[in-house]
Amino acid sequence: MKVLLTAPYENEKAFGELEGLVGEVIYRPWKPHGRAYNPAELIDLLRDTGAEALIAEHDEITAEVLHANPSLKFVGICRGTPSNIDLPVATKLGIPVFNTPARNAQAVAEMFIANVITLMRNTLPAVDWLENKNWGVGAHTSYLQFKGNELAGKKVGMVGFGAVGQHIARMLSSFPSEIYYFDPYYTDENTAYKKVELTELFSSCDVVGIHLPVTPETVGMIDAKYLSLLKKEAIFVNTARATVVNREDLLMLLEAGQIRGAVLDVFYHEPPDEIDYKMILHKNVIATPHIAGATHEVEDHHAFIMNNNLKEYFVNGNKTIRQLVNKAVLENLNV
């Protein structure tokens, strides 16, 4: 099989493993290109290389691309949620689509915890204070001014308890923190985690994290109804998708000082618009430019996960592997 690979596969072991699985790999990663390939470019690449399958990361695999290549043996999407492919068309054409769930779960979990602690310990204003040479004679000035809180012993709530939420829960077990979660599609057998409804989660937890995909039922799901329940000392975190939260309601909450602050990695518009920047520049917000999952190790993870998908499906004959997402994604992206 001849496979066009546009996703990063820099790990030599993973690349060699892929070659052993499929035969010929034509490597045209999108990163040197400077951006994801658009549909016209993908059609040209597939035609010019004679590729029989495609493994991509961010490229736009539209209906046009798929109809121009209806005999693809498979499409691999090196992302947790394969939102950049027209999945109904792929399914109609009988093209198996694989994804790489949990590829960035460790990275996002680490950044979630790091930034929550940064906010709780007043680290950034303390750094700014020190760099601006505000340390006077009083030995206890900084000690008193920037005294923060520990994450240990706090109640942490996960809205959505997939790979990222579960990674965070496991990492917080050593602090320890109490874990609450809301997820109608999942029940964890670990009785140390408490499954609750959204109203209890928002009203009870000291930290609330959003870990939802974008679906018709989740867009705008987190609004004033739930945000208004947050405690005054609560921290709100969104490292998932911006549109699942009503940003006007969140901004109103922040500007009114009704919560301690927020950690935000995703925005309605990227690059941000004026409303996004009102949140980004708020003194009680730690904002990052959609980099929670941006580590070098994530690319290694997605390569090995994808290789395992292909091995299970084509070599071991496992036609119902979890990462085969055609049916699951069509059923409201519950993957």
Query: Which stretches within the chain are classed as H helix?
Result: 12-22, 30-33, 39-49, 63-68, 87-92, 105-120, 123-131, 141-145, 163-172, 198-204, 224-227, 247-255, 274-280, 296-310, 326-330
Q: How far apart are the first and last CA of the chain?
A: 28
Nearest to 173 by CA among 190, 185, 198: 190
Rounded to whole angstroms, the Cα distance separating 306 from 99 reads: 7
In angstroms, the CA 239 to CA 291 distance is 9
Catalytic member of 290, 296, 297, 322: 290
- Please tell me the distance from the alpha carbon of residue 29 to that of residue 56, in angstroms, as a whole number: 8
Report the alpha-carbon distance of residue 307 to residue 11 in Å, rounded.
12
User: In 38-173, which residue ranges form alpha helices assigned H by DSSP?
Assistant: 39-49, 63-68, 87-92, 105-120, 123-131, 141-145, 163-172
121 is known as an active-site residue: no
The question of whether 270 is a catalytic residue gets the answer: yes
**Nearest in space to 217 (alpha carbons), one of 185, 186, 244:** 244
From 79, 167, 241, 247, active-site residue? 241
Kindly report the length of the chain.
Answer: 335
Is there a catalytic annotation at residue 28? Answer: no
Catalytic residue among 24, 270, 297, 322: 270
Element (H, E) at 27: strand 24-27
| Active centre residues (catalytic) | 241, 270, 290
